[in-house]
Amino acid sequence: MTAVSAEKYFTESRLIAILRGLKPEEAPGHGEAIIGAGWRCLEVPLNSPEPFKSIESLVKKYGDKALIGAGTVLTAEDVKKVADVGGKLIVAPNTDKDVVEAAMKLGLVIMPGVYTATEAFAAYKMGVRYLKLFPADSVGPGYIKALKSVLPKDAKVIPTGGVSVDTIAAFHEAGCHAFGIGTQLFKPGMTVDEVAKRAQALAKAAANLK
């Protein structure tokens, strides 16, 4: 299967929406608010209510505009379930060999979680090129800059946790390629208008990066 390219989405927006707690009936409205603000990557963590229904709903309505998939993917079986509903993005908090191999076999974009240099290089050796640095707020941009200095040039670091309107520039200056954003964008119970305002503010901050 031909692998999906994330780069065409990152050329428009390097922001990845993490919609933990999203309900299927909320997916169309919140998806419209976020994609309407210019975001092009969305993930629904699998510890959300009925996540596969939400992913399928988002894919059907916005699959031609955005890279949509799942977060907190912990098993190869769940990788297949994401693919079965049309998802093309697999994000995990850790680097699991079975998950990475399953995603690659299906041609999906894989972003496993790493924290140390050892974990980053191990993931890279598996063929991973998008490294989700998690939790980023516990180490900060300085740590990422040091990590980037020893990683291969084509290894792209994507911080998740602690990225906000106020911190995104510092993470960018550290060499980050894209940014995973969760509670700064969406929390269960938020209205579509609230999410739209946050999505627009974060998109503006990202657009100002040099």
Say which of 56, 88, 132, 148 is annotated catalytic: 132
Q: Is residue 88 included in any domain, yes or no?
A: yes
Taking Cα atoms as reference points, which of 29, 37, 31, 44 lies closest to residue 12? 37
Backbone conformation region of residue 100, classed left if phi is above 0, alpha if psi is from -120 to 50, else beta: alpha
**pTM for this entry:** 0.96
Contact 203, 38 (CB under 8 A): yes
| pLDDT at residue 5, rounded to an integer | 87
Q: Counting beta carbons within 10 angstroms of the beta carbon of residue 29, is it exposed (0 to 12), middle (13 to 18) or buried (19 or more)?
A: middle
For the segment 54-67, the average pLDDT, to the nearest whole number, is 97
Residue 1 has pLDDT above 80, yes or no: no
Q: Which residues pair with 109 in a beta bridge?
A: 89
Cα gap 55→138, rounded to integer Å: 29
Residue 210 lies in a domain: no
Q: Cβ contacts of residue 176 below 8 Å, gap of 6+?
A: 133, 141, 144, 157, 158, 159
Does 57 reside within a domain?
yes
pLDDT band at 94 (very low <50, low <70, confident <90, very high): very high
Look up the domain containing 190 and give its range: 7-205
Tell me what the mean pLDDT of segment 43-57 comes to.
98
**Active site annotation includes 26:** no
Selecting among 43, 88, 148, 156, the annotated active-site residue is 43
Number of domains in the chain: 1
pLDDT at 210: 74
- Confidence at 2, pLDDT banded by 50, 70, 90: low
- 2 in a structural domain: no
pLDDT at 3 over 80: no
147-197 residue pLDDT tens:
999 999 999 999 999 999 999 999 999 999 999 999 999 999 999 999 999
Lowest-pLDDT choice from 2-6, 30-34, 91-95, 105-109: 2-6
91 assigned to some structural domain: yes
Give the angle 108-96-153 at the CA atoms, nearest 5°: 65
How large is the average pLDDT for residues 8-24? 96
Distance between start and end Cα atoms, the chain: 36
Supply the CATH number for residue 35's domain: 3.20.20.70
pLDDT of the residue at 4: 79
Distances (CA, A) of 11 to 23, 77, 110, 179: 29, 31, 18, 13
Known active-site residue 132: yes
**Angstrom distance (rounded) from CA 117 to CA 166:** 26
Query: What's the pLDDT tens digit per position in 127-136?
Result: 999 999 999 9
Residue 123 lies in a domain: yes
Token pair 């992913």: residue: 55
| pLDDT value at residue 178 | 97
Question: Phi/psi at 132 (nearest 5 deg)?
Answer: -80, 110
